[in-house]
Amino acid sequence: MSVVQIEDVSKHYTLGEQQVQALDGISLSIADGVFLAIAGPSGSGKSTLLNMIGCIDTPSSGSIVINGEDVSGKSADQLADLRARTIGFIFQTFNLLPVLTAAENVEYPLLQLKELSAQERRARVASYLDIVGLSAYAHHRPNQLSGGQRQRVAIARALATKPKIVLADEPTANLDHKTGTDILMLMKSINRRYKTTFIFSTHDRRVMAMADRLVKIEDGRVVLLGVRRAKKWTVIKPSARPEIHAKGDNDES
């Protein structure tokens, strides 16, 4: 099953008199449970594509279906609700709220889920801080944590709403090599254990090496699709209807 279906999506921005074509006819079908890297040079459209999938921005043309829901035509409130329930975000600069503790940062997106009681929220926060190995740091503020610990808090925050999809924009860009590798391994283990779909934008070869699906974009177009089976990459030409199938081939598990 596809968790993200992108059909012929283009996005242009107007800068003064100039038109910038950030995405140019992208079609992609992203299967549930994949660990997908979106790679490409700076300015190729990676962040724009993530913003479209994350319902932060809308396409100029084309359609996007997230978890069975067509994004076009939804109101800002409906999009916010879809985002809150379906998508978790991880950023390269962590984006934690500095005045809140680690636990409060993880709790923050849960406040939007009105069906959760305060007790359920606290239980969720404790369980996700435990998953990322930070139970002992629940009451620390971001400035009392290392970069790697901050990114772990951000991962717990992204996961606490139990999203179908986690979007990560260059998640290792501000971490040293070892910490970046640890963070990637943590995300990969969560992907395997909970079958959460992870979609990354990256320049980092390690992220690409750990991915089981690869989408390379240049000038807003898909130029290569890769599927890994049994540690071997198969390259698919981005032809008329590129699909990134997953079923039964997440083989390193």
Q: Map the chain to HEC letters.
A: CEEEEEEEEEEEEEECCEEEEEEEEEEEEEECCCEEEEECCCCCCHHHHHHHHCCCCCCCEEEEEECCEECCCCCHHHHHHHHHHHEEEECCCCCCCCCCCHHHHHHHHHHHCCCCCHHHHHHHHHHHHHHCCCHHHCCCCHHHCCHHHHHHHHHHHHHCCCCCEEEEECCCCCCCHHHHHHHHHHHHHHHHHHCCEEEEEECCHHHHHHCCEEEEEECCEEEEEEEEECCEEEEECCCCCCCECCCCCCCCC
Binding marks (x or -) toward ligand ADP, 195..224, rule CB under 6 A? ------x-----------------------
Which parts of 48-77 interact with ligand ADP (CB under 6 A)? Answer: 48
**44 scored as a contact of ligand ADP (CB under 6 A):** yes
What is the smallest separation between the CB atom of 161 and ligand ADP, expressed in angstroms? 25
Q: Should residue 45 be labelled a site residue for ligand ADP when binding is judged by CB under 6 A? A: yes
Contacts to ligand ADP from residues 21-40, by CB under 6 A: 22, 40
Regarding 46 and contact with ligand ADP (CB under 6 A), the answer is yes
For ligand ADP, the closer CB: 42 or 117: 42
Q: Binding residue for ligand ADP (CB under 6 A) from 1, 8, 19, 20?
A: 20
Among 8, 19, 43, 252, binds ligand ADP (CB under 6 A): 43
Chain residues that interact with ligand ADP, rule: CB under 6 A: 13, 15, 20, 22, 40, 42-48, 201
